[in-house]
């Protein structure tokens, strides 16, 4: 007991000495997730501008409300996730330095920060439009309640449930400009929803032993690597028809999106020949990050020429 306590204190002391308050705050709100979701929210907003003919300059206040509101609710939801996961985060290597574990932020402080960010974010989204505010609430509930509090620890389908919240930011962005969601907005939702399982399954393969130690029923933990590879392959295949829902962006976009899908499919199939599953999972994870970034930046660019 004393050795464990000493080790814990040493880790906390080292972490507190090596990180600033701001670094810990950004870790608490998962700034990487905030930034990546803002890209997809802006894409939904930009597409709405281009397809409805509204002026980006004249409605710039809506852009500010929507982007700031989205950032706040995503950050608040991430902080809430950290607050909920305080019991399992010390077990996993990638989460044991979170400020909720090291003690930099107390549990009541984390809850206060999370709720404040969520409330302020929702006020901003409702200032953009009622529809944006409602979709914001849907994102919060799906991430905090359906994923963090319910499915994450109980069901192997937790990744799929979590994909709902990750696919909502484009809808928020669109709804801030055009309250009635067009089918293009739902196309962005589908892209993000289908993209997430192969992305997170690859990450879960890399962290299988950590998830097992924390008793989190991720697919590779419950079903093994072979079943996980099959699921990744099927989800990647499911992506192929979705970009054609955005055919209004032109043939150039469709060629690029299909090329990205072919590249991901090729890499997924290579998983059946690899001798090093973890190395392959790392490649899949990196490709998925590049896929999302390239595809959504391309949507923004091609939308200019609609």
How high is the pLDDT of residue 93?
A: 84
Q: What pTM, to 2 d.p., does this model score?
A: 0.91
Closest CA to 163 of 98, 215, 235, 213: 235
One domain, residues 193 and 163: no
Distance CA 82, CA 218 (A): 18
Q: Report the mean per-residue pLDDT for the chain.
A: 93
> Among 163, 181, 199, where does a domain finish?
181
DSSP structural state of residue 244: G
One domain, residues 24 and 144: yes
CB-based contact 147:158 (threshold 8 Å): yes
Considering its fold, how many domains does the chain have in total?
2
CB-based contact 97:15 (threshold 8 Å): yes
Closest CA to 215 of 81, 100, 92, 84: 92
Domain harbouring 80, CATH code: 1.10.357.140
Residue-wise pLDDT tens digits, 189-236: 999 999 999 999 999 999 999 999 999 999 999 999 999 999 999 999
Give the residue numbers spanning the domain of 52.
14-181
Is it the case that residue 118 has pLDDT exceeding 90? Answer: yes
CB-based contact 148:80 (threshold 8 Å): yes
């Amino acid at each position: 007991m004393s050795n464990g306590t000493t080790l814990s204190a040493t880790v906390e002391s080292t972490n507190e000495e090596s990180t600033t308050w701001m670094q810990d705050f950004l870790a608490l709100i998962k700034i990487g997730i905030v930034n990546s979701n803002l890209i997809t929210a802006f894409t939904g907003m930009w597409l709405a501008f281009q397809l409805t003919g509204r002026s980006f300059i004249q409605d710039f206040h809506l852009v500010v409300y929507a982007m700031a509101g989205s950032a706040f609710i995503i950050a608040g939801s991430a902080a809430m996730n950290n607050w909920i996961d305080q019991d399992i985060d010390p077990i996993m290597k990638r989460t044991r330095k979170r400020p909720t574990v090291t003690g930099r932020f107390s549990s009541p402080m984390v809850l206060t920060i999370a709720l404040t960010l969520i409330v302020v974010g929702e006020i901003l989204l409702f200032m953009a439009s009622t529809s944006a505010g409602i979709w914001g609430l849907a994102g919060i509930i799906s991430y905090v309640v359906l994923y963090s509090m319910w499915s994450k620890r109980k069901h192997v389908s937790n990744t799929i449930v979590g994909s709902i919240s990750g696919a909502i930011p484009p809808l928020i962005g669109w709804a801030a400009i055009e309250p009635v969601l067009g089918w293009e907005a739902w196309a962005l939702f589908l892209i993000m929803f289908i993209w997430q399982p192969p992305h997170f399954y690859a990450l879960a393969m890399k962290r299988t032993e950590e998830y097992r130690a924390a008793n989190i029923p991720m697919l590779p933990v419950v079903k093994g690597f072979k079943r996980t590879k099959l699921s990744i392959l099927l989800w990647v295949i499911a992506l192929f028809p979705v970009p054609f829902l955005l055919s209004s962006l032109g043939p150039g976009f469709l060629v690029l999106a299909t090329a990205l899908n072919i590249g991901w499919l090729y890499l997924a199939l290579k998983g059946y020949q690899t001798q090093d599953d973890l190395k392959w999972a790392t490649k899949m994870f990196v490709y998925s990050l590049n896929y999302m970034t390239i595809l959504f930046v391309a949507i923004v660019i091609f939308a200019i020429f609609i």
